Chain A
C-alpha cells in the first residue's frame, strides 16, 4: 500500500467572513447563558457531590481501605501464607507468622502491618489471597499526620473502615454471586445507571 507523499508545507485554516467579524462569539455566549439560567432556575440537576455530607455510590469493586476478615469464632481467616506480601508490587505488607494450635489451620499472623503510604491500592493482595482473608472496603478517605501513624496494624485492619458495612469493596465475587444478586432484584442496576450517570456507580 503506497500512500500520498507527506505534505511539504502546512496549510493553515482560512477564516470565514463571519468568524472575522466575531459573530460566532454570540453563539458561544448563548451556551454559557443557557447553562447559567438553567442552573439558576433549578431546571438542571447539579453534578456536584456534597462530600462530606453526601456521598456518591461506590461500586462493589471499589478498591479502598483493606479489611482482614474473620471466621465465625472471631479469629482472623489469615493463615500467614505470605501470598499477599509476595504479590504486592509495593512490598507494603509486613507479616510475621506463628504456629496455630489447631493442626488444620497451621499458622496465623502475629504481626500484619500494611504501610498505607506505600500501598497503591491495586488489589493484588485480594486477588492473591487463597482464604478470602483480605478484602477491600468502599472507603478511600484516609489521612495521617505522621509516617508512624500510617502503618496500620492487624487490630485496625480488622475493624472495617467503611461508611456503609452492607456494601463493601473489592473482593472475590464468584459469577454465581453476581447472578444471585441480579435474580434477587437486590439492586436495579439498569435503572440506576439511567437515573444519573455521574452520581451512581453501583454494580
Chain B
C-alpha cells in the first residue's frame, strides 16, 4: 500500500469489484441448512443473479466457505483442514444457528460455534435461515469487503500523512 498512485487505486477498485461480485462459494454443508442452501442456488431464489453460482467443492478453487449445518467435534479437524487449504483472500459465512453457536445442541459432541477454530466474517442466524436470509448475509459480506478495503486504503494514507505531515487524499 506504499506509494499509492491512481493506477494502483484503480486496480485496487477493479480487484475489489471482481472479488465481491463473483464469490466462488464452498458449501460446507452438513445438515438442514445445506438443503436451504440448495434452495438458494435453485431457480426459486437463484443466487446466480449475483454471480455466486459457481459452487466449488474444492477448497483450492473457492473464496467463501459457507458453513451450513452443525459442526460436531468429529468434523472440526476436517473443517479446519479445508479452511487451511483455501488460498487467500478467503471469507467464512456461518449459516444457521448450529454453525454460529451450536444452536440448541448444548451437547457432548457439538461444537458451540465454528469460531472456536476458524475466524468468521458473517453470522447468519436462523434454523435454517430462509434463502432470503442467506442472500442477505452474502450481501452483507459484499458490503464488508467494500468497507474493509476502504478502511485499509484510508488507514494507509492516514499513516503516511502522519509520517511526513503532508495531506494525502485517497
Interface stretch, picked from A6-14, A78-86, A138-146, is A138-146
A119 interface residue per 8 A CB criterion: yes
Q: When the two chains form their complex, are residues B115 and A51 in contact, meaning their CB atoms are under 8 A apart? A: no
A142-B44 contact given A52-B139, A90-B97, A120-B103, CB 8 Å threshold: no
Instruction: Report the Cα distance A50→B113, complex, angstroms.
Output: 31
| Closest chain B residue, CB of each to CB of A62 | B130
- Provide the residues of chain B in CB contact with A118, threshold 8 Å: 97, 101-104
- Provide the residues of chain B in CB contact with A90, threshold 8 Å: 97, 103-104
> What does the 1/0 interface line of B86-125 toward A look like (CB < 8 Å)?
0000000000010011111010000001010000011111
| Closest chain A residue, CB of each to CB of B94 | A117
A47 interface residue per 8 A CB criterion: yes
Instruction: Report the Cα distance A66→B170, complex, angstroms.
Output: 42
> What does the 1/0 interface line of B35-58 toward A look like (CB < 8 Å)?
000000001111001000000000
Which bracket fits the contact residues of B?
20 to 34
- Provide the residues of chain A in CB contact with B144, threshold 8 Å: 145
- Provide the residues of chain B in CB contact with A48, threshold 8 Å: 43-46, 49
Could you tell me which residues of chain A, from 115 to 146, have a CB within 8 Å of some CB in chain B?
115-122, 140-146
A120-B132 contact given A50-B49, A147-B115, A198-B44, CB 8 Å threshold: no
B129 interface residue per 8 A CB criterion: yes
B79 interface residue per 8 A CB criterion: no
Instruction: Report the Cα distance A91→B97, complex, angstroms.
Output: 13
- Provide the residues of chain B in CB contact with A116, threshold 8 Å: 125
Instruction: Report the Cα distance A124→B86, complex, angstroms.
Output: 40
| Closest chain A residue, CB of each to CB of B138 | A143
> What does the 1/0 interface line of A67-111 toward B look like (CB < 8 Å)?
000000000000000000000011110000000000000000000
Interface residues of B (CB under 8 A from A): 43-46, 49, 97, 100-104, 106, 113, 115, 121-127, 129-133, 135-137, 139-140, 144
- Provide the residues of chain A in CB contact with B122, threshold 8 Å: 143-145
Which bracket fits the contact residues of A?
20 to 34
Instruction: Report the Cα distance A121→B122, complex, angstroms.
Output: 19
- Provide the residues of chain A in CB contact with B101, threshold 8 Å: 115, 117-118, 147
Known: A118-B97, A121-B127, A142-B125. 10 other contacts (CB 8 A): A51-B132, A52-B135, A52-B139, A90-B104, A115-B101, A117-B97, A120-B127, A142-B124, A144-B123, A198-B44
- Provide the residues of chain A in CB contact with B136, threshold 8 Å: 52, 141-143
A-B contact pairs, 21 of them (CB 8 A): A47-B44, A48-B49, A51-B131, A52-B135, A52-B136, A89-B104, A90-B97, A117-B123, A117-B125, A118-B97, A119-B127, A120-B97, A120-B103, A121-B126, A122-B127, A141-B136, A142-B126, A142-B136, A143-B123, A143-B125, A144-B122
Instruction: Report the Cα distance A198→B44, complex, angstroms.
Output: 8
Instruction: Report the Cα distance A150→B94, complex, angstroms.
Output: 13
| Closest chain A residue, CB of each to CB of B44 | A47
A33 interface residue per 8 A CB criterion: no
| Closest chain B residue, CB of each to CB of A90 | B104
Chain B nearest CB, measured from A39 CB (Å): 10
Chain B nearest CB, measured from A109 CB (Å): 22
Q: When the two chains form their complex, are residues B135 and A51 in contact, meaning their CB atoms are under 8 A apart? A: yes
Instruction: Report the Cα distance A145→B18, complex, angstroms.
Output: 22
Chain A nearest CB, measured from B122 CB (Å): 5
Chain B nearest CB, measured from A128 CB (Å): 16
